[in-house]
Amino acid sequence: MIQYTLDKYVASFDLSGLKTMAWIMIGLLLLEGLLQFYYSWLTNFLGQAVLFDVRTRLFSHIVHLRLKYFDNTPIGTLVTRAISDIETLADVFSEGFLVIIGDILRLTVAMAVMLVVDWRMALISISTVPLLLLSTRWFKNAIKSSFQEVRNAVSNLNAFLQEHITGMSIIQIFNREKEEMDAFMKINAVHRDANNQSVWAYSVFLPVVEVLSAVSIGLVVWWGAKNVLEGSATPGSIVAFILYINMLFRPMRDLADKFNTLQMGVVSSERIFKVLDTNEVIENKGKELANEMRGAIDFQKVWFAYNDDDWVLKGINFSAYPGEKLAIVGATGAGKSTLINLLTRYYEYNAGEILVDGTNIRSYELASLRQNIAAIPQDVFLFSGSIADNITLKNDFISRKEIEEAAKAIGAHGFIQELPESYDFDVKERGNMLSVGQRQLIAFVRAYLYNPKILILDEATSSVDTESEWLIQTALEKLTQGRTSIIIAHRLATVQFADRIIVLEKGEIAEQGTHAELMHKDKGLYRKLFELQFH
């Protein structure tokens, strides 16, 4: 249209025709602007929709992974997969795949029109394209290598930061700030150098494209001016071909960049799908519902190893009847917490059977089984948010009145009332605004409120102060009433009043009985542990 306007109206000094063509071109530009707006909005909307769906699916998969997967995978790596890798994958749809299709279409149409208008000038215009293709290929390979290193460096940075910020108290108390800073600088330098490789590639490629584009324009002007003087071409055709060259070189330059976006998306998608394809999940094939669970537990010749044949439990046999208080003691590494992890199906046992109410735990629907079990660990984890939310775990069906009644029953209502905003007090990340004892009491209230049939206390009083321990001990009688309770403890004073005590040694049951029965064994392991602890 510009060629037509220059040759027909500008050359003949037709101002009226020039105005008409100008308004037509303005109208087309407005239409193009609207279409570009719609195209940009649609592609970015698609990218965000993909991002939302994939991230949702990824998190859903992560929360169902067994604990063994988290034992071997840094948390920072999973954060990278769920955040930055998925952001990169979204760019494939908003800036990569569809943009590539549009650029290829633009190149094809521009080339076809150029050949129809003047095939000789078209060939002169594209004479530098082979050099452009070679430089584009080099650029694509250089950027691909760089981006792969960048993604690895980002993952390492996230893993390092997550681990060290979480363990900042250890770093500071042992004066390791300088050493950890040096380690961080090395990882950060790898990330910087990987990005610098891509910066260098861009710094070389973009000027090469501009030079080749300028050479093409120079050739067109030279050839076109010669033909204009000979009368075989018009000034409008020269201007048109200069614009065609811009239509060719800009998409070609962008294509290299967009192909790299596509490659980054491929690298990120491989990482994401590697997590999604991970089969480290607890199989939930059980159909039984534990609606009327009584709480009878049977371990029958149970063997378990975290790694290959390095057995942690060896042929464990014991039973707990409904409502019994069963204590499990033993040295560190004897396998006490492992028993609990198997009962709750955080890990799967290798051999034998674990029965609850005479039914294999694998026959229960997983959620139904776990709804009847409450565990209170030594290190209570609280989420950032209010005390009420941490007690109910944001269960909207639990009223504030029920929360307060449970807190009063446990003995936690007093200290909660003294906090600013009471039950709406924000405990911050990991519950850092509360003491260890207060966090334990919150966990007790949570367990009491959910009313499980099986209660597990894993060193639940080992880290609390005397006052908090007294509160917990007074609440234990009510908390354990009518439900099977398994109490794991190093501090033997907390298990003396259990109905039965099981002593583990190196993954095997060394002895069991009441406190009085075990203390009467002259060379018994429990008596030895008790005397070491108290005498």
Task: State the pTM of this model.
Answer: 0.67
Cα–Cα distances (Å) from 300 to 49, 305, 348, 355, 427, in that order, read 50, 16, 14, 8, 42
In this prediction, residue 30 carries a pLDDT of: 96
In this prediction, residue 465 carries a pLDDT of: 57
Cβ neighbour number for residue 316 with a 10 Å cutoff = 24
Low-confidence ranges of the chain (pLDDT < 70): 96, 256, 460-475, 491, 493, 534-535
Question: The tokens of 362 are what?
Answer: 């694998």
First to last CA, the chain: 101
Burial of 505 from C-beta contacts in 10 A (0-12 / 13-18 / 19+): middle
In this prediction, residue 34 carries a pLDDT of: 95
Task: Provide the CA 217 distance to its chain's centre, in angstroms.
Answer: 50
In this prediction, residue 507 carries a pLDDT of: 82
In this prediction, residue 467 carries a pLDDT of: 59
Question: The tokens of 492 are what?
Answer: 């033997």
Collect all residues with Cβ–Cβ distance below 8 Å to 82 and sequence separation of at least 6. 55, 58, 59, 62
Domains in the chain, CATH or no CATH each: 2-276 (1.20.1560.10), 297-534 (3.40.50.300)
267 neighbors 316 (Cβ within 8 angstroms): no
In this prediction, residue 457 carries a pLDDT of: 83
d(CA 47, CA 172) in angstroms, rounded, equals: 43
In this prediction, residue 96 carries a pLDDT of: 67
DSSP character string of 56-99: HHHHHHHTTB-HHHHHHS-HHHHHHIIIIIHHHHHHIIIIIHHH
In this prediction, residue 33 carries a pLDDT of: 94
In this prediction, residue 464 carries a pLDDT of: 55
What are the tens digits of pLDDT across the range 498-513? Answer: 888 888 888 888 888 8
The stretches of 231-288 forming alpha helices (DSSP H) are 235-276
478 neighbors 451 (Cβ within 8 angstroms): no
240 neighbors 2 (Cβ within 8 angstroms): yes
DSSP character string of 494-528: GTTTSSEEEEEETTEEEEEE-HHHHHT-TT-HHHH
